[in-house]
Amino acid sequence: MSQFLESLKNRRSFYALGRDVKLSEEEITELIKDTVKNSPTAFNAQSPRAVVLFGAAHEKLWNIVEEALKPLTPAEAFPNTQAKIAGFRNAYGTVLFFKETDTVKNLQEQFALYADNFPDWAEQSNGIATANTWTALTAAGLGANLQHYNPIIDEAVAKEWDIPANWQLRSQLVFGSKEADANEKEFLADDERFRVFH
Ligand SMILES: Cc1cc2nc3c(=O)[nH]c(=O)nc-3n(C[C@H](O)[C@H](O)[C@H](O)COP(=O)(O)O)c2cc1C
């Protein structure tokens, strides 16, 4: 099996994450930067943006999520929500992925023929950068899971880290040391997903 395929297979949703991480923050940051930079984007627009949170900043994010969820969650269910959020907070760091929205508008003006495609392509470009980062972190020995607490945290996140107005939050990739295996995963039968013609 190629090393690439092995890395793809090893990328799973790891929810039990800790802080027993051997890589330095600088090494992890460089890995994330390199991965996002080398991920393809439509028209090479490079619309994905990433903010890497470690330490107190990472913990602050999950405090923001907890605060945002409190008024939206029935009181009796909130302890479970708090426990789930604590799981994310116990991890080592979080990558916030944003989509730079001016890029889409500019491309739509520049290439009217493809105008309808650019919003989708920007989302796809974010997805590719995110999935590649997830795989790269896993290949470096870490575990990660992907969360979507946007848009309820957008305002607080923008305020806390001075995020430009044209950066739209799309996802949160939580990472850390793997403290437990991923769950079993089922696959659809190949004949439901693939067709080959000669
Ligand atoms: C676009 C996308 C959105 C996802 N959103 C979430 C999410 O909000 N919360 C979560 O726990 N997992 C989320 N996941 C993880 C999927 O549930 C997971 O990848 C899938 O069940 C397959 O499991 P695996 O990651 O272990 O291979 C998301 C995955 C993708 C690709």
**Tens-place pLDDT, residues 85-133:** 999 999 999 999 999 999 999 999 999 999 999 999 999 999 999 999 9
The owner of tokens 């870490």 is 142
pLDDT band of 66, cuts 50, 70, 90? very high
Element (H, E) at 38: none
pLDDT at 1 over 90: no
For ligand 1, mutation pick of 7, 13, 133, 152 (most atoms within 8 Å of CB): 13
Instruction: Report the pLDDT value the prediction gives residue 79, as an integer from 0 to 100.
Output: 98
User: How many CA atoms within 13 Å lie on the side-chain side of 143?
Assistant: 19
Domains within the chain, CATH numbers bracketed = 3-181 (3.40.109.10)
How many angstroms separate the alpha carbon of residue 13 from the centre of ligand 1?
A: 7
Q: What is the spatial distance between Cα 76 and Cα 93, in angstroms, rounded to a whole number?
A: 29
How many angstroms separate the alpha carbon of residue 70 from the centre of ligand 1?
A: 23
Work out the percent of the chain whose per-residue pLDDT is above 90: 99
Instruction: Report the pLDDT value the prediction gives residue 17, as an integer from 0 to 100.
Output: 98
Nearest CA to ligand 1 atom 30: 146
pLDDT band of 25, cuts 50, 70, 90? very high
Q: Averaged over 154-169, what is the pLDDT?
A: 98
How many angstroms separate the alpha carbon of residue 147 from the centre of ligand 1?
A: 8
How many angstroms separate the alpha carbon of residue 145 from the centre of ligand 1?
A: 7
Mean pLDDT, the chain, integer: 97
pLDDT band of 46, cuts 50, 70, 90? very high
Mind giving me the DSSP string for 56-91?
HHHHHHHHHHHHHHGGGS-GGGHHHHHHHHHHHHTS
> Could you tell me the maximum CA-CA distance found in the chain, to the nearest angstrom?
59
Q: Averaged over 46-72, what is the pLDDT?
A: 98
Q: Averaged over 74-92, what is the pLDDT?
A: 98
Q: How large is the C-alpha radius of gyration of the chain?
A: 18
For ligand 1, mutation pick of 146, 150, 181 (most atoms within 8 Å of CB): 146
Residues 6+ apart with CB under 8 A from 37: none
| Pocket of ligand 1 from Cβ distances under 6 Å | 12-13, 145-148, 182, 185
Q: Averaged over 121-148, what is the pLDDT?
A: 98
Instruction: Report the pLDDT value the prediction gives residue 165, as an integer from 0 to 100.
Output: 98
Q: Averaged over 41-45, what is the pLDDT?
A: 96
Instruction: Report the pLDDT value the prediction gives residue 105, as an integer from 0 to 100.
Output: 95
Q: Averaged over 75-85, what is the pLDDT?
A: 98
Q: Averaged over 42-63, what is the pLDDT?
A: 98
